[in-house]
Amino acid sequence: MTRKIALEEHFLVEGFANMGRTEGSGPAAVFRRQAAERLPEIDALRLDAMDKAGIDIAVLSLFQPGIQGERDTATAIRKAKTVNDTLAQRIARHPARFRGFAAVPMQDPQAAADELERAVKELGFKGALINGHTQGVYLDDPRCLPFWERVAALDVPIYLHPANPMTIPAAFEGYPGLAGAIFGWAAETGGHALRLVLSGLFDRFPSLTVILGHMGEALPFYLWRIDSRFKISEPKVSLRQLPSAYIRRNIAVTTAGTFSPEPLRCTIDAMGLDRVLFSVDYPLEDSDEAARFIETSPLSDGEREAVCFRNAERLLRL
């Protein structure tokens, strides 16, 4: 079995909402109950799942909406520090198996920059995971520039994780889950990433790396059309290159929550082998299923090693 590093693996600590209603015997209740039990646990259960799947290292991040769900700025700043300190203590119990992505209070981008630097330099974290917009403010907002300046200086990746949209589009109304993980989160998060591209952020900071889960939230399958329609648009900002060039250069994608060989092949071909990384989305997805998928997908040995661990080693400097 190929050794693996997983980048979108979630946890929860006291003070943050868990999975909601867990009573009942239907599939949704069973799923929520299992996730609610496993999210706070960073010991035997999680390590056992990793061992069975051949996962050497899991990079842990606070489950959504996390800090982005806090309305009060002072509370967000305080909670981010507490969460990161707690995660560092948990990682210290199993330092060979776990790493961390910081939670950052984007309610105050300067404070977020300071907390990211502390988490990277003092706690040894490998970057940050941000759960989408922060109370409707997206990361292309000019107020976020001090944060991106610090990210570029620290040279660490930012994992852009899905979040619920501020309002539910009419096309999704009336169908449970459609606005969320079934499809809506991909549209929300892929659109958020395109905002970063179209804002000129990657012209300003060419070294940035943003990570998207779920095979890139559909962007790898849409590159030609993005470029085609961009050419005849009236862009807000003039870009030095076509959007697909930034997506291939500044965005990396993981297999988290998308265990199908056809999208994997397309993503590798569209993005380049060095931009695709293995992940599970634990405990929302099953580690064994993720492992079977990547071990049986029609990849060469070199491709499998690159996706499973070599790309992560390089990106995270492991």
Name which of 158, 157, 197, 186 is nearest 68 in CA terms: 158
- Tell me the HSE value of 318 on the side-chain side, using a 13 A CA sphere: 24
Return left, alpha or beta for 229; rule: phi > 0 is left, psi -120 to 50 is alpha, else beta. alpha
Q: Are 222 and 196 in contact (CB under 8 A)?
A: no
Inter-CA distances, 181 with 18, 35, 53, 174, Å: 16, 15, 24, 15
Q: Note the pLDDT of residue 174.
A: 93
Distance, in Å, from the CA atom of 17 to the CA atom of 36, rounded to the nearest integer, reads 10
Name which of 67, 109, 68 is nearest 86 in CA terms: 67
Return left, alpha or beta for 177; rule: phi > 0 is left, psi -120 to 50 is alpha, else beta. left
* Angle made by CA atoms 207, 211, 212, in degrees to the nearest 5: 145
Please confirm, yes or no, whether 281 is among the known catalytic residues.
Answer: yes
Distance, in Å, from the CA atom of 181 to the CA atom of 175, rounded to the nearest integer, reads 12
Contacts of 305 (CB under 8 A, 6+ apart): 2
Distance, in Å, from the CA atom of 239 to the CA atom of 251, rounded to the nearest integer, reads 16
Q: Note the pLDDT of residue 19.
A: 60
- Name the active-site residue from 281, 286, 288, 301: 281
Instruction: Indicate the pairing of strand 276-277 with strand 251-254.
Output: parallel
Torsion sign across C-alpha atoms 300, 301, 306, 308: positive
- The CATH code of the domain at 4-316 is 3.20.20.140
Q: Note the pLDDT of residue 15.
A: 83
DSSP 3-state percent helix, strand, coil across the chain (nearest 5): 50, 10, 35
Is residue 285 classed as helix, strand or coil in its secondary structure? Answer: coil
Q: Are 311 and 3 in contact (CB under 8 A)?
A: no
- Chain segment 63-83, per-residue pLDDT in tens: 999 999 999 999 999 999 999
> Which parts of the chain have pLDDT scores under 70?
19-25
- Cis amide bond preceding 283, omega within 30: yes
Name which of 267, 181, 7, 204 is nearest 196 in CA terms: 204
